[in-house]
A and B are shown apart, each in its own frame.
Chain A
Amino acid sequence: EPEVTQTPSHQVTQMGQEVILRCVPISNHLYFYWYRQILGQKVEFLVSFYNNEISEKSEIFDDQFSVERPDGSNFTLKIRSTKLEDSAMYFCASGGYFTDTQYFGPGTRLTVL
């Protein structure tokens, strides 16, 4: 069964450093999403991406964040200058055409020191 994969599973970085979180969505999906879950809090929407552009973003998704689909398979989330409060589990999800069902990856735990 196809699934969404994410790498790395855990990333530790120093405050101020750039990080790139990688996702490989399900191959025939057209909609891509990033969510995050700060420890002890609810899962929050960050951004949705369709047709090579951002279709919606939350207030959290400020200029420090960017997304890219550099090739036909990967979908990345870049945090330009990490802050302590960026420490969270980041989930990638993908969805097919004409459906609002999303399939999630296992997540990347980001720890900012």
Chain B
Amino acid sequence: AQSVTQLDSHVSVSEGTPVLLRCNYSSSYSPSLFWYVQHPNKGLQLLLKYTSAATLVKGINGFEAEFKKSETSFHLTKPSAHMSDAAEYFCVVTGRTYKYIFGTGTRLKVLA
């Protein structure tokens, strides 16, 4: 069975400082892993996706994530936070079927 744990429910960073949102996964199959972002009153937007081609995945808006099989982690990072990054971020895993298993989400706050 697949599961996802997002280790922080809230993260606050100052504008211009690095962002780290943590995600650990569990999967009986070779997983696909995703990060989605949800801005207030908006839908879920795909940030990036891992599918075994490369362990470091680059996404939109300067975000990237590194797949570490030994640590079963898929943490999301960005070198320099922008005010527009304030949103909720979801880590997602799929396995044998295409059904998404979501983490509980991390709300990112960016301070001026």
Give the interface of A toward B (CB within 8 A). Answer: 4, 31, 33, 35, 41-45, 48, 55-56, 91, 93, 95, 100-107
A92 nearest CB neighbor, chain B only: B43
**Cβ of A104: which chain B residues have Cβ within 8 Å of it?**
36, 43-45
Q: A56-B97, A102-B98 known; A42 and B105 CB under 8 Å?
A: yes
A88 CB, nearest partner CB in chain B, Å? 13
A77 CB, nearest partner CB in chain B, Å? 16
**Cβ of B49: which chain A residues have Cβ within 8 Å of it?**
101
Q: List 9 A-B contacts (CB under 8 A).
A: A35-B102, A43-B90, A48-B99, A91-B43, A100-B94, A101-B34, A103-B46, A104-B44, A106-B41
Question: Is B32 positioned at the interface, with any CB of A under 8 Å from its CB?
Answer: yes
Q: Which of B13-57 contact A (CB under 8 A)?
A: 32, 34, 36, 41-46, 49, 51
Q: Are A106 and B43 in contact (CB under 8 A)?
A: yes
Residue in A41, A91, A102 with the greatest tally of chain B CB atoms within 10 Å: A102
Q: Are A102 and B43 in contact (CB under 8 A)?
A: no
**Cβ of B98: which chain A residues have Cβ within 8 Å of it?**
31, 33, 48, 95, 100, 102
Q: Are A4 and B43 in contact (CB under 8 A)?
A: yes
**Cβ of B101: which chain A residues have Cβ within 8 Å of it?**
45
Q: Are B43 and A45 in contact (CB under 8 A)?
A: no
By Cβ-Cβ distance, the 4 closest A-B pairs, closest first, are A106-B43, A104-B44, A43-B102, A42-B104
**Cβ of A42: which chain B residues have Cβ within 8 Å of it?**
102-105
What 8 additional pairs, Cβ within 8 angstroms, besides A42-B104, A91-B43, A93-B100?
A4-B43, A33-B99, A43-B90, A45-B99, A100-B32, A100-B51, A100-B98, A101-B34
Contact partner, A101, options B43, B46, B97, B104, Cβ 8 Å:
B46
Mark each residue of chain B from 82 to 97: 1 if its CB lies under 8 Å from any CB of chain A, else 0.
Answer: 0000000010001001
A61 CB, nearest partner CB in chain B, Å? 12
Q: A101-B34, A101-B49, A107-B43 known; A48 and B97 CB under 8 Å?
A: yes
